Amino acid sequence: MASALHIGIAGLGNVGAGVVKILAQNADLVARRAGRPIVVTAVSARDRNRDRGISLDGIAWVDDAAELATRDDVDVVVELIGGSDGPALTLARRTLGAAKPLVTANKAMLAHHGLELAQMAEAADLPLKYEAAVAGGIPVIKGISEGSAANRITRVYGLMNGTCNYILSRMEAEGLGFAEVLADAQALGFAEADPSFDIDGIDTAHKLSILAALAFGAALDFAGVACTGIRAIESADIAQAAALGFRIKLVGLAEAEDGRLFQRVHPALVPMAHPVATTMGSLNALVVEGDFVGRLFFQGRGAGEGPTASAVVADLVDIARGDVRPPFVMPVADLAALPRADAAGRRGRYYLRLNVADRAGVLAELTAALRDCGVSIESLVQRGTSSSGDAMVVMVTHEAREADVVDSLARMAASPSVVGQPVMMHILDF
């Protein structure tokens, strides 16, 4: 067997400790698949004395993670610190600058600096691998870049944030409020350090922008992702959606159409029977549509120690086998800088929820706003009076132009009868 591949790991949190565990527990299996042993020789984290349930015997401890890049006993650096900039980015640049391969699970860093890092890797003919960064253990990066290489991909969408899916699933099953469930997600180890990245959709946007670049051969454009999270969703929305035959999910959607790139993260109503709707708890789900392969569906654990570390180790096996391909399939110079598609002209069905004063004439006001904007209603439900004296009106539109629905909602929101902010959600009809 060839000589061992020596790795240095920066960050020994959920994912880093998981990588050390897999490489210890499945050492023989991994060595046979990699053609050589994969051995951790050096690590760096903030707290040397924390009990992580792993043995660090015989492994060098490095206080400054950036040093891993230049140590002679490290062939490959695994960055598992997190954060788009700061020590993670410094380490990534130094590693590639020192002509060493890099593995990372850091979608925030890739969303912001992926093209720069990919260019560095390509220029030095080095692997830069990041299967763990999108949908954790689900091999969607490999699924797109290798398995779907024959296809023109026109659409990628799905659930890429375990925390949000977990929160929405428990809100539905147990009628719990948002904050109670978030604390549990944090305890389970898959919430981001800053949970607003999860619930405001930013984490999904990071991942979506990476997938879109890969799938469409487009220059990565994180700033072009329109993003709405799940803060405004109430248990009543979940119940109403269910009564209408839908489940609410935080969906990331990217499409390449007519040479334009559409990227959006938003809560959407997904028909109950759709495989995305039946993906519950912290599971992730992704759909990739290719012109020859058709619809591919990926489902599995997108977060957590074992699944995420599993993806990191798979990347290490590729590197041990000598796999050097451009991080975004094509050289960065060949990626198309696609203009952003405008959402205004998109057509679809929409869910609208308004809390209104329960008095005569209110419904007529609402329906007049819709009529004036040319939006037709498929169904309308008014639900009883709350303790505050408000009623909840839920409407589903027929297919309409998005700009017209937005316009009608703004008119309705301006009415003194409407209490608080109306909620508008897209219905996933594909």
Ligand X SMILES: NC(=O)c1ccc[n+]([C@@H]2O[C@H](COP(=O)([O-])OP(=O)(O)OC[C@H]3O[C@@H](n4cnc5c(N)ncnc54)[C@H](O)[C@@H]3O)[C@@H](O)[C@H]2O)c1
Residue positions in the annotated binding site for NADP(+)?
Answer: 10-17
Residue 161 contact among ligand X, Na ion, ligand HSE, none, beta carbon within 5 to 8 Å by kind: ligand HSE
Residue 389: CB atoms within 10 Å:
10
Element (H, E) at 249: strand 246-257
Cα gap 47→12, rounded to integer Å: 9
State yes or no: residue 103 binds ligand X (CB under 6 A).
no
Cite the annotated binding site for L-homoserine by residue number.
192
DSSP 144: I
Phi-psi region of 114 (alpha: psi -120 to 50; beta: other; left: phi over 0): alpha
- Residue number with CB closer to ligand HSE (12 or 354): 12
Q: How far is the CB of 145 from Na ion (least distance, A)?
A: 11
Q: How far is the CB of 337 from ligand HSE (least distance, A)?
A: 27
Q: For the chain, percent helix, then strand, then coil, each to nearest 5?
A: 40, 25, 35
Helix (H, G, I), strand (E, B) or coil at 361: coil
Indicate which single residue of 122, 200, 203, 255 sits in contact with ligand HSE (rule: CB under 6 A).
203
Cα gap 272→217, rounded to integer Å: 32
Indicate which single residue of 108, 191, 202, 418 sits in contact with ligand HSE (rule: CB under 6 A).
191
Indicate which single residue of 5, 7, 9, 15 sits in contact with ligand X (rule: CB under 6 A).
15
Count of residues that interact with ligand X, criterion CB under 6 A: 27
Indicate which single residue of 106, 161, 169, 408 sits in contact with ligand HSE (rule: CB under 6 A).
161
Cite the annotated binding site by residue number.
10-17, 107, 192
Sign of the dihedral through C-alpha 70, 75, 81, 83: positive
Q: Which residues of 205-240 are buried (b: 16+ CB within 10 A; e: fewer)?
A: bbbbbbbbbbbbbbbbbbebbebbbbeebeeebbeb
Which residues on adjacent β-strands are paired with residue 77? Answer: 8, 102
What does the binding site for Na ion look like in residue numbers (CB under 5 A)?
131, 135, 138, 311
Residue 131 contact among ligand HSE, ligand X, Na ion, none, beta carbon within 5 to 8 Å by kind: Na ion
Q: Which stretch binds ligand X (CB under 6 A): 23-31, 41-49, 169-177, 398-406?
A: 41-49
CA 10 to chain centre: 22
Indicate which single residue of 119, 240, 299, 308 sits in contact with ligand X (rule: CB under 6 A).
308
- Residue number with CB closer to ligand X (14 or 263): 14
DSSP 73: T
Closest-CA residue to 405 (of 336, 354, 329): 354
Element (H, E) at 383: strand 377-385
Cα gap 88→96, rounded to integer Å: 12
State yes or no: residue 44 binds ligand X (CB under 6 A).
yes
User: What torsion, rounded to 10 degrees, do the Cα atoms 273, 277, 282, 283 define?
Assistant: 60
State yes or no: residue 46 binds ligand X (CB under 6 A).
yes
Annotation marks residue 129 as catalytic: no
Cite the annotated binding site for NADPH by residue number.
107
CA 179 to chain centre: 21
Residues 146-205 that bind ligand X (CB under 6 A): 189-190, 193
Indicate which single residue of 7, 14, 96, 290 sits in contact with ligand X (rule: CB under 6 A).
14
Cα gap 215→288, rounded to integer Å: 8
Helix (H, G, I), strand (E, B) or coil at 4: coil
Q: Which stretch binds ligand X (CB under 6 A): 237-245, 257-265, 301-309, 414-422?
A: 301-309
Cα gap 80→106, rounded to integer Å: 7
Among the listed residues 21, 100, 129, 207, the single catalytic one is 207
Residues 291-330 that bind ligand HSE (CB under 6 A): 302-303
DSSP 36: S
Indicate which single residue of 19, 54, 76, 105 sits in contact with ligand X (rule: CB under 6 A).
105
Cα gap 164→138, rounded to integer Å: 17
Q: How far is the CB of 134 from Na ion (least distance, A)?
A: 5
Q: How far is the CB of 143 from Na ion (least distance, A)?
A: 8
Q: Which stretch binds ligand X (CB under 6 A): 94-102, 225-233, 302-310, 381-389?
A: 302-310
Residue 229 contact among ligand X, ligand HSE, Na ion, none, beta carbon within 5 to 8 Å by kind: none
Indicate which single residue of 40, 132, 138, 212 sits in contact with ligand X (rule: CB under 6 A).
132
Q: Which stretch binds ligand HSE (CB under 6 A): 65-73, 110-118, 191-199, 385-393?
A: 191-199
- Residue number with CB closer to Na ion (139 or 271): 139
Catalytic residues: 207
The residues of the shown chain that bind ligand HSE, judged by CB under 6 A, are 136, 161-163, 190-192, 198, 203, 302-303
The residues of the shown chain that bind ligand X, judged by CB under 6 A, are 10-16, 44-47, 65, 80-82, 87, 105-106, 132-133, 136, 189-190, 193, 303-304, 308
